[in-house]
Structure 1
Amino acid sequence: MKLNQYDEIKQGEKGAWVSIGAYLALSALKLGAGYWFLSGALVADGFNNLTDIVASVAVLVGLRISQKPPDKDHPYGHFRAETIAALVASFIMATVGVQVLISAVRSLFASEYHVPNLMSAWVALFSAVCMAGVYIYNRRLATRINNQALLAASKDNLSDALVSTGAAIGIIGAQFGLPWLDPVAALVVGAIICKTAWEIFYSSTHALTDGFDENELTTLRSTIEKTKGVKSIKDIKARVHGNLVLVDVIVQVDPGLTLIESHRISDEIEHRMGRKHNIMSVHVHVEPHDNTENAVSNALE
């Protein structure tokens, strides 16, 4: 049985809780091991995970708000709260990425280097594997329920796996007399985090400002044009509303059709959009097809 949008958002909460649980456990492990084994990279990674808890809580709050039913002030529901949560997550990721870059540059030009215990590298690698597992779980869940906030959280999980991997590389490099390897790896990881944060920020702001992919809109137009009874499409618009796509379309049909026949065409459009594109929110406005108007339009073109 297919879940409705509210059930899908409820499913998304599982991913947010998995992230929060993983960050709580791993931040405690990294901070404890980092101080015990004198690993500055591991301590920094532990504090990074503490900030990630805030991002995961923001995603969880956004998902909770999204489940509120429509009301007088929000007739379309509260689904955009999850997009706002993704936007907040991008800000936190960007902050962490910049901090990693600044720390890496300072370490690169430091006059003294400390060689941490090799055990701290194993802790970092264990953390990287754990976060990679959380990333795979959250990405699959986000793809299945089409949830942008959880998808942003999964990208944050991947960034954290990369940070831990970079910390492990630096610690191992220090054992072989290559202390500069740690800050170089941190620079690469910091750049990846900032790039991911920008992608999430762009996607979220594009959706919040009612932006919509032109290629996808062309695909939707093609599906509607192929619907039996549709003579032409006068106008079509679409926007993203949380995990939903809302479509408004004006179609032109034979002016000799009855109201019931025109209504059947509208129903068929809604059915095809749901079946082919999983779009359940389609507003169809039907107008009579004017052959004279279209002939003039074609002649001008």
Structure 2
Amino acid sequence: MQREERFDSADRIIRIGFWVNLVLMVCKLAAGHWGHSDAVFADGIESACDFVAIFSTMVALKLGRKPFDAQHPYGHGRAENLSALLVSLAIILTGCWILADSVHSVLHRKYQSPNVIAVAAAFLTIITKEWLYRFTLTTGKHLESPSLQALAKDHRKDAITSVATLIGVAGAFCGYGVMDPLAAGLTSFVILYIGYQAFREASHDLMDGSVPPDFITEVSRLAESVEGVEQVHDIRARRSGQYMIIDLKLDMDPDMTVKHSHAIATHVKKLIFDGFPNVGDVMIHINPHDEEHEDLIRL
């Protein structure tokens, strides 16, 4: 998939999520207000918080598609990782808000008697948000986009929230008023856990954390299949948005000309680009295979 196609696919997913989330937010706020349900109204406020996540993702993708320049020689992909971090923080803050509000309602016995419109709104949200989660996650994994995958987690968080909201609203509708705030409180812990997971993954990439071992193995195997490459001496990779940036050291014949070794290295790089569309750059260093040498590094 070409660079522009990748970003166009991500843009399409985000636009769909934006408009669907807008409709759900209005429906939940209206149903919570006129349906007399604190849980559903809180769910609507949570959807409003989602606009922060969606907006930051849209900005990140716009920045991330910019090519490298003098100030950003490795491109702008980290904007996506920063966006994923902001999304995770929005999820965590939402969880804290819902937990505090539910505790306040239980302690002060401030229960309402919801009607059927509140139950219907919670059910509609579950179906819609679960569909959005699967739709967004599929594209996010295909593009290996951290911001889209974080946004998918946000959709799943909404679906889980609405399951508890539905249980609480249905219980309160049947006369057990305390179930409304209790369901919201229990759901807040799930929200906090999802936010923690998203935060951990985003911070891992921002700290140049290790990439999946299978990816390293496959790239090494591909490089070593090229004639003239004795072995892969060392390989490291880090994520920048949707792309991987690879540092590769190859052991080769010390008597080979610079021109020949350069041609082999270029062939290796082309094979990696062809085999892995998510690779943004490959830096190749060549070592003589018949000598012991120490890698100089200060990290």
The two structures have a TM-score, normalised by structure 1, of 0.88
Give distance in 2, aligned partners of 1:162 and 1:217. Answer: 32
Tell me what 1:270 maps to. 269
Assess if the C-alpha contact under 8 Å between 2:39 and 2:184 holds in 1: no
Give distance in 1, aligned partners of 2:111 and 2:52. Answer: 32
Give distance in 1, aligned partners of 2:288 and 2:58. Answer: 47
Shift of 1:235: 3.0
Give distance in 2, aligned partners of 1:33 and 1:183. Answer: 16
Shift in alpha-carbon separation, 1:245–1:16, aligned structure 2, 3 A: same
How much identity, in percent, do the aligned residues show? Answer: 29
Tell me what 2:296 maps to. none
Shift of 1:110: 3.8
Assess if the C-alpha contact under 8 Å between 1:16 and 1:57 holds in 2: no
Tell me what 2:146 maps to. 148
Give distance in 2, aligned partners of 1:246 and 1:181. Answer: 50
1:184-206 per-residue CA deviation (whole Å, 9 max, x = no partner) reads 43233211211111111111111
Tell me what 1:250 maps to. 249
Shift of 1:112: 4.6
SS in 2 for 1:287: strand
SS in 1 for 2:68: coil
The two structures have a TM-score, normalised by structure 2, of 0.89
SS in 2 for 1:151: helix
Shift in alpha-carbon separation, 1:112–1:192, aligned structure 2, 3 A: closer
1:60 aligns with 2:52: no
Which residues in structure 2 correspond to 1:1-301 (within 5 Å)?
A: 2-4=1-3, 6-213=4-211, 215-216=213-214, 218-219=216-217, 220-278=219-277, 279-291=279-291, 293=292
Assess if the C-alpha contact under 8 Å between 1:82 and 1:242 holds in 2: yes
Assess if the C-alpha contact under 8 Å between 1:10 and 1:67 holds in 2: no
Shift in alpha-carbon separation, 1:72–1:268, aligned structure 2, 3 A: closer
SS in 2 for 1:234: strand
Give distance in 2, aligned partners of 1:36 and 1:110. Answer: 22
Tell me which amino acid in the other structure corresponds to 2:281.
S
Tell me which amino acid in the other structure corresponds to 2:7.
I
Tell me which amino acid in the other structure corresponds to 2:114.
P
Unaligned stretches of 5+ residues in structure 2: 294-299
Shift of 1:60: 0.5
Assess if the C-alpha contact under 8 Å between 1:97 and 1:191 holds in 2: yes
Assess if the C-alpha contact under 8 Å between 1:81 and 1:242 holds in 2: yes
Tell me which amino acid in the other structure corresponds to 1:230.
V
Tell me which amino acid in the other structure corresponds to 1:199.
Q
SS in 2 for 1:69: coil
Assess if the C-alpha contact under 8 Å between 1:90 and 1:197 holds in 2: yes
SS in 2 for 1:290: coil
Identify the range of structure 1 (162-171 vs 108-117) with the bigger mean alpha-carbon deviation.
108-117
Shift in alpha-carbon separation, 1:141–1:57, aligned structure 2, 3 A: same
Tell me which amino acid in the other structure corresponds to 1:174.
A
SS in 2 for 1:56: helix
Shift of 1:236: 2.2
Give distance in 1, aligned partners of 2:215 and 2:129. Answer: 36
C-alpha RMSD of the superposition? 2.2
Tell me which amino acid in the other structure corresponds to 2:241.
G
Shift of 1:163: 1.5
Shift in alpha-carbon separation, 1:23–1:218, aligned structure 2, 3 A: closer
Identify the range of structure 1 (124-133 vs 184-193) with the bigger mean alpha-carbon deviation.
184-193
SS in 2 for 1:212: coil
Tell me which amino acid in the other structure corresponds to 1:138.
T
Shift of 1:276: 4.2
Give distance in 2, aligned partners of 1:63 and 1:143. Answer: 15
Unaligned stretches of 5+ residues in structure 1: 295-301
SS in 2 for 1:194: helix
Tell me which amino acid in the other structure corresponds to 2:122.
A
1:43-70 per-residue CA deviation (whole Å, 9 max, x = no partner) reads 1111111111121111111111112222
